[in-house]
Amino acid sequence: MVRTSTIKGSDKAVSIGGFRGVTVNDVDELLSSLSRATSPAVFQIFDATRIAGWRHLYMAAVNAVAAFESGTTISRGLGIEALLYTSCQDQISRALDVVGVSPGTANLALIILRDGPGEAEAAFEKAADILGEADDSVLGLDETKFREIAEVFGVSENALEAVGGERDKALTSLLVEKGALLPLRR
């Protein structure tokens, strides 16, 4: 199921969802197909096993749009900017290592950015025609996924305890914060 929200202070809207059981053989071919299907929308796909929920992607999209609208981007493309904020990395190659899709990736997360929520959802549906049936459960956290994400993103037990509350929410909050601080690392 697609979740769509406007981005405050912008004309942009973002649609976010997950897909289970996708067959990725050739990443470039998949990206080309999605680009043709969703144009003129901007999209980015992620390995869902490295995504800590809807909010993780939403805040990365918000930060990417804000960077573009303020002229403080790291990259030249909005989709790549969203990739960087999601991965909390300032280099594309590292970002791809952290949250990128590769041959064999079966669970994907997708964001679509477009002016207006209706247009974003329409582009998401066109992407879904390629990716298959949406299944947002791939965005959720179980214990195995939680541990992997914490390790990959360098989130310690001390940091989780400092945030407090539910561990899943604490992890997502820390990733959102790391992403938001990305421009300060340049």
List pLDDT tens digits, range 100-120.
999 999 999 999 999 999 999
Answer for the pair 159, 43: CB distance below 8 angstroms, yes or no: no
Work out the number of other CB atoms within 10 angstroms of the CB of residue 91.
Answer: 12
The predicted pLDDT at position 181 comes to 92
pLDDT for position 165: 94
What are the structural domains, with CATH classification, of the chain?
3-185 (3.30.2380.10)
* pLDDT tens per residue, range 47-101: 999 999 999 999 999 999 999 999 989 899 999 999 999 999 999 999 999 999 9
pLDDT in tens, 136-157: 999 999 999 999 999 999 999 9
* DSSP letter assigned to residue 24: -
CB atoms within 10 A of CB 141: 20
At position 23, the amino acid (one-letter code) is T
- The half-sphere exposure of 3 on its side-chain side, counting CA atoms within 13 A, is 16
Q: What was the pLDDT predicted at 185?
A: 73
Contact 185, 90 (CB under 8 A): yes
Q: Which residues contact 166 (CB under 8 A, 6 or more apart)?
A: none
